[in-house]
Amino acid sequence: MHGAEKKAFDIAWVREQFPSLKLQVHGHTAAFLDGPAGTQVPKQVIDAVQNYFLTANANTCGAFATSRRNDAMIASVRGTMADFFNCDANEVVFGQNMTTITFALARATGRELAAGDEIVVTTLDHDANVAPWRALEEKGAVLRQVDIREEDCTLDLEDLKRKITVKTKVVAVGYASNMVGTINPVAEIAKLAHAVGALMFVDAVHYAPHGLIDVTALDCDFLACSPYKFFGPHMGVLFGKREHLEKFKPYKVRPATNTSPECWETGTQVHELIAGIGAAVDYIAELGRHCDPGLKSRREALRAAYRATHQYETGLLSRLIAGLQTIPGMRIFGITDPKRFDERCSTLSFRLGDHNPTEIATFLGERGIFTWDGNFYALNLSERLGVEQHGGVLRVGLVHYNTAEEVERLLATLREFVAA
């Protein structure tokens, strides 16, 4: 048995790393169950941002110390993200957020499209992986949307196979759903895309805090994620296969370099937050080493961290689902069978009787429990499930810094809400 599995998950150590978890609201310790919209950050990230301002605050490529430090820091974090993705450092592009990156990439790849070329998107996805591709309809591209199986909120793979044809040029699929937690078989879908010569774009924003990403094993062409969802600052990062980053031409200003990947990074980047991204990934690696001290490389440490957090989060999820199922009027969306928990992550959405989710979120928020209500921009899914016109759903996001006590507190407060 692996070391990480032998040892109990050290939740006390984890919570010690995140100063904001001690926040008090209305006399309660805040329970951050809002992770899918953005996670809290460990002190390492806060320190890295501060350290940047104190020692390396300058623009890039200057002939003086702070600029050189900034260049070195960016190169180093590119290497860190390469470990995170399992790719080469020159395949890592920093950007404002996933949405902005995806619009820029779609626009650049769209230059090569002809009228009638098809792009496959899905009903399960956040609109940031739909709207940028939909924008190419202006150039005559045709969007084809893959449906879901409503009973468990998984992608309808038969429908997907029907929609990927010789006309398909891009297949844009999410790694995990930010509303119902479903994890999609992206490696399998990449094979289907490549079989017809299409590019595979993966939105890994929701998967990144829950599972190890391996772009080499997935064989995807592009993959985007947002560090603020995996314990880092508010930015986006793109992986692109080198051949594609060199072939496609981004829209850019003339004096800026034509060398990839920098040519994709329009304007001045938020350097201080790039420093924070490096610290966030290093925190995850540190967690892996805390679970399994013998590990050598950062990649091995990341693997150990995700192995441990997956097991821990699955325990919390089981407790949450079992508790929710005892509350009258509860309707949970997505996979609830514990035997299938490898097909989902620990993000869960529900409706409770006819209550508007905002009403529930407000009740919880006043008691220091932070959840989200609405559609979380997964508009296609909210419409498909018939909840859009009723305020969407209530979403509970569990990440590795949450606790069994927080889950029990949530369940007790929901019972209080029902009784009120």
Ligand X SMILES: Cc1ncc(COP(=O)(O)O)c(C=O)c1O
Give, as ranges, the residues between 207 and 226 that touch ligand X (CB under 6 A).
226
Q: Residue by residue, what is the 3-state secondary structure of 1-29?
A: CCHHHHCCCCHHHHHHHCHHHHCEECCEE
Q: Which uninterrupted H or E stretch holds 145?
A: strand 142-146
Choose the stretch contacting ligand X; rule: CB under 6 A; options: 43-51, 84-92, 93-101, 343-351. 93-101
DSSP code of residue 58: S
Please select the residue that binds ligand X; options are 144, 169, 206, 299, rule is CB under 6 A.
206
Is 128 a binding residue for ligand X by CB under 6 A? The answer is: yes
Choose the stretch contacting ligand X; rule: CB under 6 A; options: 126-134, 137-145, 180-188, 332-340. 126-134
Q: Beta-strand (E) ranges in 217-334?
A: 222-225, 236-240, 330-333
Cβ 324 vs Cβ 19: under 8 Å = no
Read off the tokens for 267: 């304007």
In angstroms, what is the minimal distance from the CB of 174 to ligand X? 5
In angstroms, what is the minimal distance from the CB of 194 to ligand X? 23
Torsion-angle region of 322 (φ positive above 0: left; ψ -120 to 50: alpha; else: beta): alpha
**Binding flags for ligand X, 186-205, as an x/- string (CB under 6 A):** -----------------x-x
- From edge to edge, which strands make up the β-sheet containing 347-352? 330-333, 347-352, 393-397, 372-374
Nearer to ligand X, 203 or 373 (CB): 203
Cβ 111 vs Cβ 248: under 8 Å = yes
Written as one string, the DSSP assignment of 290-352 is HH-TT--SHHHHHHHHHHHHHHHHHHHHHHHHHHHTTSTTEEEES---GGGGGGB-SEEEEEE
Binding residue count for ligand X, defined by CB under 6 A = 15
Is 174 a binding residue for ligand X by CB under 6 A? The answer is: yes
Choose the stretch contacting ligand X; rule: CB under 6 A; options: 6-14, 44-52, 123-131, 379-387. 123-131
Choose the stretch contacting ligand X; rule: CB under 6 A; options: 96-104, 157-165, 263-271, 404-412. 96-104
Is 145 a binding residue for ligand X by CB under 6 A? The answer is: no
Classified as helix, coil or strand, 118 is strand
Nearer to ligand X, 126 or 344 (CB): 126
Task: Say how far apart CA 284 and CA 29 lie, in whole Å.
Answer: 24
Residues 238-248, buried b or exposed e (16+ Cβ, 10 A)?
bbbbeebbeeb
Is 34 a binding residue for ligand X by CB under 6 A? The answer is: no
Task: Say how far apart CA 236 and CA 229 lie, in whole Å.
Answer: 10
Q: Which uninterrupted H or E stretch holds 235?
A: none
Of residues 26, 135, 37, the one with CA closest to residue 372: 37
Nearer to ligand X, 4 or 220 (CB): 220
Nearer to ligand X, 205 or 295 (CB): 205
DSSP code of residue 32: E
Choose the stretch contacting ligand X; rule: CB under 6 A; options: 56-64, 97-105, 339-347, 352-360. 97-105
Give, as ranges, the residues between 330 and 359 that touch ligand X (CB under 6 A).
none
In angstroms, what is the minimal distance from the CB of 123 to ligand X? 13
> Which residues, including other chains, have CB under 8 Å from residue 416's CB and lie 6 or more apart?
none
Please select the residue that binds ligand X; options are 67, 90, 97, 358, rule is CB under 6 A.
97
Residue located via tokens 């609109």:
127
Nearer to ligand X, 221 or 292 (CB): 221
Cβ 172 vs Cβ 119: under 8 Å = yes
Please select the residue that binds ligand X; options are 74, 109, 124, 126, rule is CB under 6 A.
126
In angstroms, what is the minimal distance from the CB of 203 to ligand X? 5
Residue type, 318: S
Nearer to ligand X, 98 or 120 (CB): 98
Please select the residue that binds ligand X; options are 41, 77, 81, 98, rule is CB under 6 A.
98
Please select the residue that binds ligand X; options are 44, 80, 99, 184, rule is CB under 6 A.
99
Nearer to ligand X, 224 or 410 (CB): 224
Is 122 a binding residue for ligand X by CB under 6 A? The answer is: no
Of residues 142, 146, 190, the one with CA closest to residue 168: 142
Please select the residue that binds ligand X; options are 35, 209, 236, 334, rule is CB under 6 A.
236
Choose the stretch contacting ligand X; rule: CB under 6 A; options: 2-10, 103-111, 124-132, 190-198. 124-132
DSSP3 helix / strand / coil % (the chain, rounded to 5): 50, 15, 35
In angstroms, what is the minimal distance from the CB of 250 to ligand X? 18
Residues forming contacts to ligand X in the complex (CB under 6 A) are 36-37, 97-99, 126, 128-129, 174, 178, 203, 205-206, 226, 236
